[in-house]
Amino acid sequence: MIHIHGQIESLKRIREILDHHGITWFTSTGQINRFLKTFENEKESLLFNIERQYELELEILVTKVHHYQKEYESVKDHVENTLNNRISSLKAKSKTLSLPAKNAVIELLNWYRQQILLGYTFILDKGTKYIIKLKTKPYQKRLDPTQKELEAYIANRQNSISERFETKFKELEFTQKITEGLYPLIAGAIGEHKVAKELEKLPRPFVLINDFSLAFNKPIYNRRENDRIFSIQIDHLLVTPAGIFIIETKNWSKKSLERYDFRSPVKQVRRANFALYTLLNSPNTSNRVIKPHHWGQRKLPVKSIVAMIHHKPKERFKHVAIKTLQELNGHIKYFDPLFDNEEVESIGTFLINLKN
């Protein structure tokens, strides 16, 4: 199976733009497309979902209040029953002590005991409400704010739902605006993904590098174009036994092919070809990645392809092959091998380590 390195550049840019705007819930271009297609349905279901969420929160609060209320009443009843039983027990003992004793000394002692019990009973009887309040205070502290929160939820239901809807609707519109602006990138990502999947069918020792970018410390001068090349960006760089293929992907419609304001992919790929060919065929580089030949220094050919996903122009162009997705692998395998497996892997490793 082909060696694959790197992620599709358009996908990375889409993720960067979404993250920059705080939109994190899309995990694929398919999700973005579905969102844009069903945007009107999303708007219509937004209010329903917000109302349902509000009712769910309301039910949770009702359940919490019911639980806290039940817990509070249970503790209160327990404390109250315990106090009443204690008071009844003290009154019974006090009544027993009031009965005639065997002698005056015991009767006097019983009287003192009775006074103590009556005093304790009086304190418990008069302080019952305070004791109950003290014992139930932790439960009351949980119940009261929850009860108030529930009352506020019920009283402010309509306003709260309206505020939530307005906020969510603005977020929804903002997401639509950002994702609509991603259409060209999404189309590019889909195209690049299809090309990458097609190239993945190629066998070893082929090496595929997606999103190959390189900046030059010293710009490369292109005499033919009178241009200084400071950097290159290539959708797919394919290393094969026949040499290197620069592949630029375009997912264009028929109308797009005729637009003059679109940058020429032929010029773009030829520019990258010149820079990469110059770099790889310098003596310092070629001697490192390909074996010497007894006839002399070998060249490392760099071929250019513009891969069109749906439509391609009828015209032909110098030094650049225009191929559909179905023609791509057949064109690549057409060329005779010039390098062995070890050299292909060596070239691939060099380019992988070289890319920015």
Same domain membership, residue 199 and residue 169: no
Residue where one domain finishes, among candidates 115, 141, 173: 173
Same domain membership, residue 103 and residue 148: yes
Same domain membership, residue 239 and residue 132: no
Nearest to 235 by CA among 221, 251, 223: 251
Each residue's pLDDT, cut to its tens digit, for the chain (356 residues) gives 688 888 888 888 899 999 999 999 888 888 898 988 898 888 889 989 999 999 999 999 999 999 999 999 999 999 999 999 998 998 888 888 888 877 888 888 888 888 888 888 888 888 889 998 999 999 999 999 999 999 999 999 999 999 999 999 999 999 999 999 988 888 888 889 899 999 999 988 899 999 999 998 889 988 878 889 999 999 999 999 999 999 999 988 777 777 665 778 888 899 999 999 998 888 877 778 888 888 888 899 999 999 998 888 888 888 899 999 999 999 999 999 999 999 999 999 999 988 76
Domain tally, the chain: 2
Same domain membership, residue 257 and residue 133: no
Same domain membership, residue 212 and residue 86: no
Same domain membership, residue 258 and residue 339: yes
Same domain membership, residue 299 and residue 224: yes
**Cα separations (Å) of 311 from 5, 148, 297?**
28, 66, 40
pLDDT at 140: 93
Long-range contact pairs involving 298-302 (C-beta distance under 8 Å, separation at least 24): 298/338, 300/243, 300/244, 300/347, 301/242, 301/243, 301/244, 301/338, 302/243, 302/244, 302/245, 302/246, 302/273, 302/276, 302/277
Q: Where are the alpha helices (DSSP H) in the chain?
A: 9-20, 29-37, 39-97, 104-126, 128-155, 157-180, 183-199, 254-257, 265-280, 283-289, 325-334, 341-354
Give the C-alpha separation, 170 to 163, whole Å: 11
Residue where one domain finishes, among candidates 120, 145, 173: 173
Same domain membership, residue 228 and residue 149: no
Q: Is residue 79 part of a domain?
A: yes
Same domain membership, residue 147 and residue 48: yes
Same domain membership, residue 347 and residue 218: yes
Residue where one domain finishes, among candidates 113, 148, 173: 173
Q: Is residue 182 part of a domain?
A: no
Same domain membership, residue 326 and residue 277: yes
Q: Is residue 18 part of a domain?
A: no
Q: Is residue 34 part of a domain?
A: no
Q: Is residue 236 part of a domain?
A: yes
Q: Is residue 46 part of a domain?
A: yes
Same domain membership, residue 157 and residue 52: yes
198: containing domain: 190-354
Q: Is residue 17 part of a domain?
A: no
Whole-structure pTM value: 0.66
Q: Is residue 5 part of a domain?
A: no
